[in-house]
């Protein structure tokens, strides 16, 4: 995770040399994985940090649009958790068992940036959270409603994210995740002060947990939905699953969720 070669020393020299009152510093990272940028994050001399994936032919054009802008604010969101340092990751990195503490679903370590993190040139508020039902039976679907408002001064996209945490009532399973992303969508070109109504349909499979010997099951539980982020959500609310356990099957196609 360390910055390669002498780039950390270059960053330190830059911060020690440049007067932030005279020159604005924009810190760019180009990588396919997180790197240790705590020095840049903690410095009050750096005005902004932009992370880009591996370079392609349109990278320069995309960066120009992000910095200069074309009247609209369009930014992505992190597709992974960005840890503060390598020691925050549990054990052997070649072990592909998320339940040992990997990814936002199972890690209890505070990250530098959470999965789904990202800023824009505007601000948004979320309000009027409603469910079509607050108690459902195993196997029932669920519909979530709320509003998203652009409270800033720039036309901007917003990426809605809905996370689900499942607290089982009558049993304890070690492999139940802290949270899982069950819905997301980019809302494009929301103008200042515009309110957009949002509706999400949560399917039964998304409420299932894996039980050894049975496969994916929907069990009596409390479902906690957190909207915007599961660490610092804009909105949150609970729904109860009450009734007899319901079998979803041995396999779930997450590609369709």
Let me know if residue 17 belongs to a domain.
yes
pLDDT tens digit at each of 257 positions of the chain = 888 888 999 999 999 998 878 888 899 998 888 999 999 999 989 989 999 887 788 888 888 888 886 666 888 899 999 999 888 888 777 777 788 888 899 888 999 999 999 998 999 999 999 999 999 999 999 999 999 999 999 999 999 999 999 999 977 787 789 999 999 999 999 999 999 999 999 999 999 998 988 899 999 999 999 999 888 999 999 999 999 999 998 877 655 55
| Rounded-to-integer distance, Cα 181 and Cα 114, Å | 13
pLDDT, tens digit, 9 for 90 and up, residues 44-94: 899 899 998 877 888 888 888 888 866 668 888 999 999 998 888 887 777
Q: How many domains does the chain have?
A: 2
Does 133 lie in the same domain as 65? Answer: no
Let me know if residue 202 belongs to a domain.
yes
| Rg of the chain, C-alpha, whole Å | 21
Does 245 lie in the same domain as 128? Answer: yes
pTM for this prediction: 0.91
Let me know if residue 74 belongs to a domain.
no
- List the domain range (segments joined by +) for residue 245: 124-249
Let me know if residue 48 belongs to a domain.
yes
Let me know if residue 44 belongs to a domain.
yes
Beta strands in 24-141 (DSSP E): 25-30, 46-52, 72-73, 124-131, 135-136
Let me know if residue 110 belongs to a domain.
no
Residue reference for tokens 């396919």: 32
């Amino acid at each position: 995770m360390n910055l390669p070669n002498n780039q950390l020393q270059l960053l330190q020299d830059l911060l020690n040399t440049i007067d932030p009152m005279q020159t604005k510093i924009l810190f760019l990272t180009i990588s396919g994985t997180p790197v240790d940028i705590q020095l840049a994050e903690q410095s009050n001399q750096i005005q902004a940090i932009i992370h880009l994936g591996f370079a392609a032919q349109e990278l320069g054009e995309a960066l120009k649009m992000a910095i200069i802008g074309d009247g609209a604010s369009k930014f992505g969101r992190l597709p992974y958790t960005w840890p503060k340092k390598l020691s925050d990751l549990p054990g052997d990195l070649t072990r592909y068992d998320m339940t040992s503490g990997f990814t936002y679903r199972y890690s209890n370590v505070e990250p530098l940036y959470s999965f789904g993190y990202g800023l824009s040139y505007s601000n948004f508020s979320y309000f009027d959270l409603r469910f079509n039902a607050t108690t459902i039976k195993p196997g029932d679907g669920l519909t979530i409603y709320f509003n998203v408002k652009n409270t800033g001064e720039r036309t901007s996209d917003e990426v809605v994210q809905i996370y689900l945490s499942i607290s089982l009532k009558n049993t304890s399973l070690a492999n139940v995740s802290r949270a899982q992303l069950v819905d997301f969508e980019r809302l494009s070109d929301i103008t200042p002060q515009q309110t957009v109504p949002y509706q999400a349909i949560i399917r039964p499979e998304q409420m299932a947990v894996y039980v050894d010997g049975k496969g994916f099951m929907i069990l009596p539980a409390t479902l906690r939905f957190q909207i915007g982020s599961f660490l610092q959500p804009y909105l949150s609310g609970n729904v109860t699953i009450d009734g007899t356990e319901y079998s979803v099957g041995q396999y779930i196609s997450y590609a369709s969720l």
